[in-house]
Amino acid sequence: MNSELVRSCFAKQFDGATGKLFASPGRINLIGEHTDYNGGFVFPGAIDKGMIAEIQPNGTDKVRAFSIDLNDFAEFGLNEEDAPKASWARYIFGVCREMIKRGVDVKGFNTAFAGDVPLGAGMSSSAALESTYAFALNKLFGEDKIDKFELAKVGQSTEHNYCGVNCGIMDQFASVFGKKDQLIRLDCRSLEYQYFPFHPQGYRLVLVDSVVKHELASSAYNKRRQSCETTVAAIQKKHPHVEFLRDCNMQMLEEVKDIVSAEDYMRSEYVIEEIQRVLDVCDALEIDDYETVGQKMYETHHGMSKLYEVSCEELDFLNDIAKECGVTGSRVMGGGFGGCTINLVKNELYDSFIAKAKEAFTTKFGREPKVYDVVISDGSRELV
Ligand code: GLA
C-alpha cells in the first residue's frame, strides 16, 4: 500500500495540508463461505493489500472526499438526507452515519484515499474502505470509545443501510481484527474468536483472479440469504429453539423437504455442510494435515458451484485446472459470482500450476487471470 501517493494527492487536493493516515486490509477466507449470516463459523485472515486514507478535520459540517484511484471528488453533509450519489462516497457517508448513530460526534473532514486491493475480486475492498474510516473516525472524533467489534459492525451496517448488501460480519471483522501470520476462526453466533498461527510448511496459498467482476451480485447475494431464512422459518415450526441454519442438522432439513422449495433446500444443505467443514479444517490444521484441508476446500467449491450456485464458468474452469495439476485444495473464495479461487499448493507444484492456469485460461477466455500470493497481515491501524 502506497502512503506516499496518498500524502502527495491529499496535499495537492487540500492546499498543501497534512492529515493523519489510517489503513485497513482486505481479507482472504480459508474456508466457511456464506456461513456468517447463518450464525456459523468462518476462517478468514487479513492480507497485505487494502486501503489507506489521509484525513484531517476541516472545521465545517461537510466531508470533502477524493478517491485517488477513480480520480473523483465528492462533497457531502452528515445528515441522513445528504447521501452522495457516487457509490464509493456512500461507503464513507454510511460509516459517518453509523458512527453518529453510535454517539460519535463526527464533524466535517477532508480526506483522500487509495487502495491496492482489487475491486470486485472477492477480497473485500469495500470492507477495507469501511474499516479504515470507522477506525479513523473513532480516533479523530470518538476518543477511541467504540470497541473493535462495534467498528466491524459499523462497516456491516453501512453495507445494509447505505449500499443494499445484507452481508454478514466476516469481511469487516477480518479487516479490523487481522493479525500477521494468523487466521481467525470466528463463531458468528457468539462472536467468540480464536487466532490460529498459519505457516503451512511446504505449501503456499495463492489467489487466481478470474477477473470476472462481481459488482452486480448484491441482489443474488441477498436472495441466497433469503433462502436460508425461509428454511429456518420452516424448521422453527417444529424446532422453536432454532435461530439460524447453524442450529440445524441434515435430519431437520429433511423434515421440511416437502415444505421448502427445492432451491431453498439445496442452499441450506450447502450451508449446513459448510459450517461443519470449517470445524473439520481447524482440526486438520492442528495436526498439520493439509491433505484434509485441501479436500475440504474442493468440497466447498463443489457445494458453492452446484448447491449454492454462486460460482461461474471461469471459476469452475480454474478449479478444474487446479485439480488436474494436483493442487492440494482449491475453491471459489468470498461471496462468489466472480473474483478469485483460493489455492493451497505444494511448493514444488506452484510454478507449473500457475503457468498452466494462465495458459489454459487465456486459451479459453482470451485474457490472462491475475495471480496474488497471499501474505497474512495486520488489521486496521493508524500509520505513523
Ligand atoms: C461476502 C460478504 C460476507 C460473506 C461472504 C461469503 O464477502 O460480505 O459477509 O457472507 O460474502 O462468505
pLDDT band at 119; cut points 50, 70, 90: confident
Give the number of the atom of ligand 1 that is nearest the alpha carbon of residue 33: 12
pLDDT of residue 215: 66
pLDDT value, residue 148: 98
Same domain assignment for residues 172 and 49:
yes
What domain range is 57 assigned to? Answer: 3-197
Specify the pLDDT at position 1. Answer: 67
DSSP string covering 299-360, please? HHHHHHHHTS----HHHHHHHHHHHHTT-SEEEE-TT-SSSEEEEEEEGGGHHHHHHHHHHH
Give the three-state DSSP class for 320: helix
Looking from the CA of 99 toward its CB, the CA atoms found within 13 Å total 31
**β-bridge pairing 109-115 and 62-67:** parallel
Ligand 1, residues 159, 171, 226: which to mutate, most atoms within 8 A of Cβ? 171
Domains held by the chain: number: 2
Q: Which residues form the pocket of ligand 1, taking CB atoms under 6 Å from any ligand atom?
A: 33-34, 36-37, 124, 167-168, 170-171, 334-335
Look at residues 128, 274, 294, 283 and name the one whose alpha carbon lies nearest to residue 196.
283
| 213 in the same domain as 177 | no
Which strands make up the sheet holding 370-373, listed edge to edge? Answer: 329-332, 340-346, 203-209, 370-373
C-alpha 126 – ligand 1 centre gap (Å): 11
149 lies in the same domain as 238 = no
Which H or E run contains 138?
A: helix 125-141
Nearest to 24 by CA among 91, 88, 115, 153: 115
Most distant CA pair in the chain, distance: 67
Q: Is 41 helix (H, G, I), strand (E, B) or coil?
A: strand
Beta strand 41-42 with 182-187: parallel, antiparallel or unpaired? Answer: antiparallel
Burial of 351 (0-12, 13-18, 19+ CB in 10 A): exposed
User: Residue 381: inside a domain, yes or no?
Assistant: no
For residue 351, the domain's CATH number is 3.30.70.890
**Which of the following is catalytic: 36, 72, 147, 171?**
171
Q: Is the pLDDT of residue 85 over 90?
A: yes
> Of ligand 1's atoms, which has the minimum distance to the CA of residue 168?
9
Would you place residue 118 in the very low, low, confident or very high pLDDT band (cuts 50, 70, 90)?
A: confident
101 inside domain: yes
DSSP summary character for residue 334: T
Distance CA 185, CA 206 (A): 20
Give tens-digit pLDDT for 254-283: 999 999 999 999 999 999 999 999 999 999
- Grid cell in block for residue 117: 486491493
| Atom nearest to 221 CA in ligand 1 | 11
The residue behind cell 473474483 is: 339
Same domain, 350 and 253: yes
One domain for residues 233 and 289: yes
Is 171 considered catalytic here?
yes
Task: Identify whether 233 is part of a domain.
Answer: yes
- Measured by CA distance, the residue closest to atom 12 of ligand 1 is 33
> What CATH number should be reported for the domain holding residue 45?
3.30.230.10
At 268, the amino acid letter reads S
The pLDDT of residue 213 is above 90: no
The domain boundary residue, chosen from 179, 197, 215 = 197
Nearest to 104 by CA among 96, 112, 114, 116: 96
Point out the least confidently predicted range of 84-88, 89-93, 117-121, 144-148.
117-121
